[in-house]
Structure 1
Amino acid sequence: MDNSVLKQQKFLSEDFLLQNEFGRLLYHNHAAHQPIIDYHCHLSPQAIADNHTFANISQSWLAGDHYKWRAMRTLGINEKYITGSASDEQKFQKWAATVPYTLRNPLFHWTHLELQRYFDIDQLLTTNTAQEIYQETTAKLQTQDYRVIGLTKKMNVEVICTTDDPTDDLAHHIKAKNQGDGPKLYPTFRPDKAYAVENSKTYTKYLSQLESVSGIMISRYSDLLQALAQRIDFFHNHGCRLSDHGLEQLYYFESDPYDIENLFKKVLTGQQLDVAEVQYFKFRTLVSLSKMYHSKGWTQQFHLGALRNTNERMLSKLGPDTGFDSIGDFSQARALAGFLNLLDKTDQLSQTILYNLNPADNEVFATMTGNFNDGSVKGKVQYGSGWWFLDQKDGMEKQINALSNMGMLSCFVGMLTDSRSFLSFPRHEYFRRTLCNLIGRDVANGELPADEAWLGKIVSDICYHNAKNYFKFG
């Protein structure tokens, strides 16, 4: 055999994913050292405020991570070792047995990046190395440098924006701010439950919670809006500058086929709305919320396209957000355009980030943003980073290419983790390496000039400065 066939770059070397000289230059000189602004995640604000110590790596790595859970189930591992009664070490052993079979899935890269970046472990995780790695990581996690704040400092995290329900008292955000250590922690207003009228029984229970925290009795739809406005004021006073919404799709109605107060009364009396009524309720409520955001100068985010809770048996057993969602194929363009246009008509369209989960919609979303950029703000309407099933190398490249071809990559506010794990921040590195490799490839192909100062500035802007300027955190 020709020995040249055996030559390869070392796995996870310092030039991981960097396949050309200019890409390596861009990454090492301009991207690698940039601080991280993680403007959308599902991390626990209490863990940050308390500077939590994880008992072991399973609790910091496997708990709540439905990416890993899906892989383990696919391999045939019993739920006992995933979300069940097995010990943390037993669960880790099962994950270690799974990792070698995740080749070409981003989990393989993320797993070993995280072991390297946080714990300086270069070994591959397998059944043979699992016990040693479990013991070494668990021992380190008991030390001061490996408490939550230490973990964020290792990755140079400057800002974390959590995802918070309007009923949250933000006590942990307040505590973290008063302590002043670690990354700046900001809440994000996530009001999905405020318009989740599909189930009237669940919805009326939520309204009771909203009444309690807002001090407003909610007997009419106008009361609901008043209570939400009160919570927006509360969030704003505690540093919130972002909202977020998870929807299958946005809805738009040119006329008003229903009386919104009557729909609200139906829900309060336990009646189920039909599909069109539910869509209209969501539409009217989101329009009102979006106008409130605009009055505060917030950025609104729309995560669109997830088909959630598809497995009823497992939903009843484990609850939502446990790994049984997928990409949906919902129609997006017309209603999305109508919704944004309605707000733009009265100049009440906030800075907006649109995320799609179906890669077939990449160009739709990339071109939609250009329809509503009006010159008032750099990159006012953004095509968001590859999200959920698309936050891997191929998904990132396709998002970057669609944005480059249809819009302005140079204005992009960059990556986020969308994660529940404090060990997930190397996903920013994964994105930065992918970005630099793509630009470096264009230079190698003669499609861009080899101007390090110019391209280096654009790279550093995408990795950090664009987000810093766009969100204007206090």
Structure 2
Amino acid sequence: MTEPWTLHPDRALPADPGVRSIARQVYAQTADLPIVSMHGHVDARVLDEDQPFGDPAELFVIPDHYLVRMLVSQGAGNHELGVPARAGSGVEVEQDHREIWRRFASNWRLFRGTPTRYWLEHELVEVFGVDTRPSAKSADAIYDHLLDALARPEFRPRALFERFRIETLATTDAATDDLAHHTSLARQGWGEKVVPTFRPDALVHIDRPGWPAGVAELSRVSGVDVDGYDAFIVALEQRRAVFRAAGARATDHGHVSAEATPLADEDARRIFAAALRGEATAAQAQAFSGHMLVEMARMSSEDGLVMQLHPGVLRDHDPHIAGVFGPDTGFDIPVQVEYTRALRPLLERFGRHPGLRLVLFTIDETVYSRELAPLAGVYPAVRLGAPWWFLDSPDGMRRFRDAATETAGFYNTTGFVDDTRAFASIPARHDLARRIDAGYLARLVAEHRLDLDEALETAVDLAYELPRESYAPPV
């Protein structure tokens, strides 16, 4: 008889027996702490409406771009995995969700050694009580088990939110979002549990196809006639105030480059006017987006919203896939990023400003020790964000600690943020980060570079106190 599928209690802890023993003690301090999830992409509607999740394919497969891209790399089509296609694309998307699940389960081996495997194991075993490893043979039985669980009240979104011990969950919302679901949640007493994050990317990148419509929508929701650059700034400030009143703690900025060089007001007005006419060049668009990073830092220094910057991703590497399935499906790929010179103009103005907190993320880990740790290790406004996207893996997180800690220390970082769209994976991601930090701290204790009591305190700070402090509500 096959043994039930279980997870080892020491998973992701150091292999050395002596260090592992210490790591167990450190991890025990953080395993049951509340989760502070300040950088995610869960839709507020999910928690506002609190409807059952549907079926396993809808919960685990279709929205998880980590999972989807691995299967696509082995020849599966996005349409075969249920990823919605744009209207008029002519692509027939698989509607049989059991078949989608079978395709995933039969390819379980593809995830060996990946963080996706760790997260999925945690979700299936710890959250949903699955006791058989996914495979072609077990696919239907697991699907039926999950269907039964998802139909029960204890597996609805709010029940899982409480079970996961989530203290605060930040969503990511377009600057023009009406925040209706956040307003509804606040009326129900969830206003401090689920908070919005202001993301203005669609408005500051003036060469994006949907930019004119975005400006029109900004005019509508702000009540400001955005007929030029000055009105544009006023409208953005108005929207930030609305987000702040709704409980927002932060802004979020996704740029290819970290370039943040201010323009003269006349130049900004001239470029914005050209964009309104549809005549802005690629060089002007790049200059304007860099200028707007400085403007956003200025606004954050005034309204207290934490500014998060995560550059270095070339979006939609395959324009055909992006055209058929939309953004976040077109094979986003990391590129090299330079921070030191790029951010200097911004930091000259605001790097020592008491009102600014600038959190820097990267997926170019060559810059951890060369640029990011030294910047965070001297500028009071700067903090290092957790390893993000392609780097939020066991070894990626270990490399981050090794590269950044000696220069920036622990307390110039923000602690862990999970950056996930997959709601059920939130506890798995935080659990993995806590285990990796426990192992890193245990090694310092074993090498007599840190006392055990300091390691225990630091572990709690990294898992809980630093995220709370880094994203404290603006005053």
Residues 1:204 and 2:212 are matched in the alignment: yes
Q: Of residues 274, 278, 298 in structure 1, which corresponds to 2:282? A: 274
Q: Of residues 13, 18, 24 in structure 1, which corresponds to 2:13? A: 18
Give the distance between the partners of 1:221 and 1:254, measured in 2 at CA.
14
Deviations 1:91-111 (A, max 9, x none): 111111122122111122111
Once structures 1 and 2 are overlaid, which stretch shifts more, 100-109 or 132-141? 100-109
CA spacing shift, 1:212–1:182, aligned 2, 3 Å: closer
CA spacing shift, 1:184–1:132, aligned 2, 3 Å: same
Deviations 1:210-267 (A, max 9, x none): 0000111111100000100110111111111211101112224377497211111111
| Unmatched segments (≥5 aa) in structure 2 | 15-19, 84-92
Residues 1:308 and 2:315 are matched in the alignment: yes
1:428 maps to 430
* Structure 1 contact 43–419 (Cα < 8 Å) conserved: yes
- CA offset at residue 31 of structure 1? 0.8
Deviations 1:35-94 (A, max 9, x none): 000000000100011112111111111122111111111222243321222411111111
Give the distance between the partners of 1:392 and 1:448, measured in 2 at CA.
25
* Structure 2 contact 262–290 (Cα < 8 Å) conserved: no
- CA offset at residue 349 of structure 1? 5.8
- CA offset at residue 361 of structure 1? 1.5
Give the distance between the partners of 1:152 and 1:126, measured in 2 at CA.
29
1:129 maps to 138
* Structure 1 contact 71–98 (Cα < 8 Å) conserved: no
- CA offset at residue 182 of structure 1? 9.7
Give the distance between the partners of 1:131 and 1:331, measured in 2 at CA.
48
Question: Normalization by structure 1: what TM-score?
Answer: 0.91
Structure 2 residue matching 1:371: 3-state secondary structure: coil
* Structure 1 contact 307–325 (Cα < 8 Å) conserved: yes
Structure 2 residue matching 1:409: 3-state secondary structure: coil
Q: Which amino acid aligns with 1:413?
A: T
Residues 1:290 and 2:297 are matched in the alignment: yes
* Structure 2 contact 56–143 (Cα < 8 Å) conserved: yes
* Structure 1 contact 340–349 (Cα < 8 Å) conserved: no
Give the distance between the partners of 1:80 and 1:279, measured in 2 at CA.
33
CA spacing shift, 1:335–1:181, aligned 2, 3 Å: closer
CA spacing shift, 1:75–1:254, aligned 2, 3 Å: closer
2:336 maps to 329
* Structure 2 contact 256–313 (Cα < 8 Å) conserved: yes
Once structures 1 and 2 are overlaid, which stretch shifts more, 56-65 or 32-41? 56-65
Residues 1:93 and 2:102 are matched in the alignment: yes
What count of residue pairs does the alignment treat as equivalent? Answer: 453
Q: Which amino acid aligns with 1:292?
A: M
Give the distance between the partners of 2:144 and 2:429, measured in 1 at CA.
25
**How do residues 52-451 of structure 1 correspond to structure 2 at under 5 angstroms?**
52-82=51-81, 83=83, 84-180=93-189, 184-199=193-208, 202-253=210-261, 256=264, 259-275=267-283, 277-322=284-329, 324-344=331-351, 347=353, 350-363=356-369, 364-373=371-380, 380-425=381-426, 426-449=428-451, 451=452
* Structure 2 contact 123–425 (Cα < 8 Å) conserved: yes
- CA offset at residue 172 of structure 1? 0.5
Give the distance between the partners of 2:430 and 2:461, measured in 1 at CA.
14
Give the distance between the partners of 1:134 and 1:295, measured in 2 at CA.
51
Question: Normalization by structure 2: what TM-score?
Answer: 0.91
Give the distance between the partners of 2:125 and 2:330, measured in 1 at CA.
26
- Identical amino acids, percent of aligned pairs: 26
- CA offset at residue 311 of structure 1? 0.5
CA spacing shift, 1:254–1:107, aligned 2, 3 Å: closer
* Structure 2 contact 35–167 (Cα < 8 Å) conserved: yes
CA spacing shift, 1:255–1:189, aligned 2, 3 Å: closer
Please report the RMSD computed on the Cα atoms of aligned residues, expressed in angstroms.
2.0
Residues 1:459 and 2:459 are matched in the alignment: yes
Give the distance between the partners of 1:177 and 1:232, measured in 2 at CA.
18
Structure 2 residue matching 1:333: 3-state secondary structure: coil
Once structures 1 and 2 are overlaid, which stretch shifts more, 293-302 or 404-413? 404-413
1:376 maps to none
Give the distance between the partners of 2:413 and 2:336, measured in 1 at CA.
25
Q: Which amino acid aligns with 1:471?
A: Y
Structure 2 residue matching 1:116: 3-state secondary structure: helix
- CA offset at residue 193 of structure 1? 1.1
Once structures 1 and 2 are overlaid, which stretch shifts more, 78-87 or 349-358? 78-87
Deviations 1:341-384 (A, max 9, x none): 23237x376111100111112221111112312xxxxxx42111
| Unmatched segments (≥5 aa) in structure 1 | 1-9, 374-379
Q: Which amino acid aligns with 2:368?
A: N
Give the distance between the partners of 2:206 and 2:196, measured in 1 at CA.
24
- CA offset at residue 445 of structure 1? 3.4
Give the distance between the partners of 1:182 and 1:342, measured in 2 at CA.
34
Once structures 1 and 2 are overlaid, which stretch shifts more, 304-313 or 336-345? 336-345
Give the distance between the partners of 2:262 and 2:470, measured in 1 at CA.
32
* Structure 1 contact 64–322 (Cα < 8 Å) conserved: no
Give the distance between the partners of 2:147 and 2:418, measured in 1 at CA.
23
- CA offset at residue 443 of structure 1? 2.2
- CA offset at residue 441 of structure 1? 2.2
CA spacing shift, 1:54–1:349, aligned 2, 3 Å: same
